[in-house]
Homo-oligomer: A and B are copies of this chain.
Amino acid sequence: MRDLRHHREALALNTATLGHRSPIEAVIDKCAAHGFGAIAPWRRDLEGRRLADVAARIRDRGLTVTGYCRSTYFTHASHAERQAAIDDNARAIDEAAAIGAASFVLVVGGVPDGMHDIAAARQQAIDGVGALLERARTVGVALAIEPIHPMGAAGRSVVNTLAQALDWCDALDPERQGGLGLMVDAYHVWWDPDLEAGIARACRDGRVLGYHVSDWLRDTRDLVTDRGMMGDGVIDLRRIRGLLEAAGYRGPVEVEIFSATDWWVRPEDEVLEFCMSRLLDVC
């Protein structure tokens, strides 16, 4: 397993961890100052900015861009809404290319309002991803399907396990031409009885485009915004990175913590210090 102390390039910060409080320019600067080597910005961070300016600042601070976050949901009751989502995500792919992101992160959407058919929603999501694949390949940004914890199946994503996401990749890219893979997030997959097999398959197929860390708090009080700092919960993060690296993964380890009542209200520098020390000590 890599000693992350000697792999600054692998230490990544997802900007959601800071709660989108400061301008992206300040976040980029702090990220570099705290020793991170990569950043994952959100679309909301870039509103009103010239993308070339942001890209230049990221480069100037010695950072790379892991994933650009994230897709508009693909799942909707009407065809018109689904097409609008595809169009919007196509624009986001161009933005991802403009800032030099390695991938565009796909959170595909849940079971739409008024629907009860999760299988139909899944097909909508597959179709939506498929509609974007050529464009993504053309601009050189990989599509990173993120399997989301099953507690998000209704509201956020109908792709809920590594195996399922890999099946989608196989269906959409049977020849393994590339440009399509997975964002693996420890928070979403740690519980999976088939985690070891899923990671092995994902790495064997060359599908792992990134790896997110945070922690599952024992007394989780919210289904989205109550994640813990690495080391404060129950996930054996060192084991999961060990599985990934034993299977060949050498990409970033990216902190992504949604925490409305704890980390998002702490001073940003304190958050970044915790992220870095815990990345090195428990991940």
Q: Annotate A102-141 by CB proximity to B: 1 below 8 A, 0 otherwise.
A: 0000000011010111100010000000000000000000
Total interface residues on A, using CB and 8 Å?
Answer: 37
A277 at the interface (CB under 8 A from B): no
Which of A60-68, A233-241, A250-258, A263-271 sits within the interface? A233-241
Q: Inside 8 A of A207's CB, which chain B residues have their CB?
A: none
A154 with B233, Cβ < 8 A, contacts A113-B218, A218-B113, A223-B220 known: yes
Q: Inside 8 A of A163's CB, which chain B residues have their CB?
A: 193
Which of A16-24, A29-37, A91-99, A145-153 sits within the interface? A145-153
Question: CA separation between A161 and B194, bound complex, in Å?
Answer: 10
Which one of B110, B117, B155, B239 lies within 8 Å of A236 (CB-CB)?
A: B117
Task: Write the nearest CB–CB distance from A221 to chain B, whole angstroms.
Answer: 8
A151 with B223, Cβ < 8 A, contacts A118-B190, A118-B191, A164-B193 known: yes
Which one of B113, B153, B233 lies within 8 Å of A191 (CB-CB)?
A: B153
Which one of B115, B117, B153, B234 lies within 8 Å of A154 (CB-CB)?
A: B234
In the complex, the answer to whether A154 meets B220 with C-beta atoms within 8 Å is: yes
A160 at the interface (CB under 8 A from B): yes
A216 at the interface (CB under 8 A from B): yes
Task: Write the nearest CB–CB distance from A43 to chain B, whole angstroms.
Answer: 24
Quick one: closest B residue to A161, CB to CB? B193
- Can you spell out 10 A-B residue pairs with CB atoms less than 8 angstroms apart? A116-B234, A122-B193, A150-B151, A150-B191, A151-B220, A154-B220, A160-B193, A164-B193, A167-B193, A223-B223
Which A residues form the contact surface with B (CB < 8 A)? 110-111, 113, 115-118, 122, 149-151, 153-155, 158, 160-161, 163-164, 167, 190-193, 216-223, 233-236, 239
